[in-house]
Chain A
Amino acid sequence: MHAFEYSAPHSLSDAVSLLSQANGNAKLLAGGTDLIDQMRTGRFRPALVIDVKKLAELNLLEFDSDGLHVGAAVTCYRIYDEPDIANDYTALADACHIIGGVQIQSRASMGGNLCNSGPAADSTPAMIALGGHCVIVGPGETRQVPVEDFCTAPGKNVLERGELLAEILFPPRPANSGSHYRRLIPRNEMDIAVVGVGASVELDEDKQTIKSARVALGAVAPTPLFAKDVSESLAGKSATDETFAAAGEAARQIVSPIDDMRGTADYRKHITGVLVKRVLAAATARARGETINYKAGRD
């Protein structure tokens, strides 16, 4: 690995000034599960590495009247070990269970997954489905950006020079709601999604009609996608297999996948339809309080 300076500030303002003064020649380090390999292979050669793990704000994991605050440095295992997240923000826990193996989950952070901005990042569609907002801190005003608008191209995002992701804020979960994230990979574990789908469903009191839904797609476009029209068209529909299949069909029309060793573009389109249908059915079952036949990372 190339030589670099390392700094682990304890305050957010110190981190922002270090980042701003580095003139684009610094990289933030959270769990390092993307960055350390990217430095080892020479893809990035920052002069300064700023460790964000000692910043209290970035380790926050707490509920208040605004909803759920997930600090950017919070690791996968902290997410799925928290019963209230596993119950109410289930799609996020589903995603955290399948990011790498257990060793990776000890280190990999939510902010790192999002800021690495890969098209197949597993937690991103889950965050979009759950209506997450990125809280961005920098030399200027703190700003919020919906997770679906954060990534701009593979490896690129809206962060300006000197800015960092402080937390992802999720609104409180409505009554009668459920969510799910699932991906298709060629192996059982430890692979990159061919397609990943996250969905959240809110049902009316009768639990038969969809009040609102959010569907997000990963690995089928240059950035994770919020399927806005598909999501909006679900409102008011009855929560049946026909509705879910129609949503799957509609989702196939908006994706622009690539051919690679994990699958052809046609295959990815097909799988998008299948997964959207299944994930909506699972999120709906959870919204009804039913347990679904799914063990995260085991099918």
Chain B
Amino acid sequence: MSDKQVISFELNGECVEFLCEPRQTLLEVLRDTLHLTGSKEGCSNGNCGACTVLLDGRPVVSCLVLAVECEDARVRTIESVACDGALDEVQSAFLEGAALQCGICTPGFIVQAEALLDANPNPSEDDIRFYLAGNLCRCTGYDKIVRAVQSAAEKRREATAAG
């Protein structure tokens, strides 16, 4: 077995340090070492998007990133989306619009939607479907997810306009 290494990165705004083996993925370390179990493991091969996190601001599937690659990086997970226990616009819209059933895909969809709205505050339905194409859902049929993202985008634009 290869030796464990000390890795440190910024996780949800705080510096964390942990021991890991090179073979451990970021997803494994987040869930098993750092006990942040919001990011889900759906497929472990990059196809389902349930493990999506933001790495240096870009959405990535954390099952295809080694934790050792993240030395000094900035990692944001689903756990950082709510602020002081208050759900943000995307989370509220998913809840209000019943955009989830079993919920396994939801953290990934929400993180991916956050990345979309950061890059494009006014996405068309087509933009949303395209941006979320790397996230799979076995339950909802996607329409409610797309509606929730549209509604969150609208709420966020209103909030920005209101200053």
- Chain A residues proximal to chain B, CB less than 8 Å: 1-6, 8, 29, 31-33, 36-37, 39-40, 49, 51, 53, 77, 100-104, 106-107, 188-190, 295, 297-298
Contacts and interface: CB of A to CB of B under 8 A. Distances in A.
Contact of B23 (A4, A33, A53, A102): A4
Contacts of A37: 44-46, 64
A32 B69 CA distance: 10
B134 A102 contact: yes
Interface in B52-66: 52, 55, 58-61, 63-66
Contact of A100 (B5, B21, B131, B134): B134
Given A32-B64, A102-B134, A3 B59 contact: no
24 contacts: A1-B24, A3-B1, A3-B2, A3-B21, A4-B22, A6-B2, A6-B66, A6-B68, A31-B64, A32-B65, A36-B25, A40-B44, A77-B58, A102-B112, A103-B59, A103-B60, A106-B58, A106-B59, A106-B60, A107-B60, A107-B65, A190-B47, A295-B126, A297-B133
A107 B22 CA distance: 18
Given A29-B69, A36-B65, A103-B61, 10 more contacts: A1-B25, A3-B23, A4-B2, A33-B64, A40-B45, A53-B69, A77-B58, A104-B46, A106-B58, A107-B64
B133 A101 contact: yes
Contacts of B134: 100-104, 189-190
Nearest to B111: A103
B135 interface: yes
Contact of A298 (B21, B23, B64, B130): B130
Contacts of A104: 46, 61, 134
Contacts of A189: 130, 133-134
Contacts of B64: 31-33, 36-37, 107
Interface residues of B, number: 34
B49 interface: yes
B55 A106 contact: yes
Given A32-B69, A101-B134, A2 B23 contact: yes
Interface string B113-149: 0010000000000100011111100000000000000
B52 A298 contact: no
Closest 4 CB pairs of A and B: A101-B134, A6-B22, A189-B133, A106-B58
Contacts of B126: 295, 298
A53 B49 CA distance: 23
Interface in B1-45: 1-2, 5, 21-25, 44-45
Given A101-B135, A102-B112, A49 B22 contact: yes
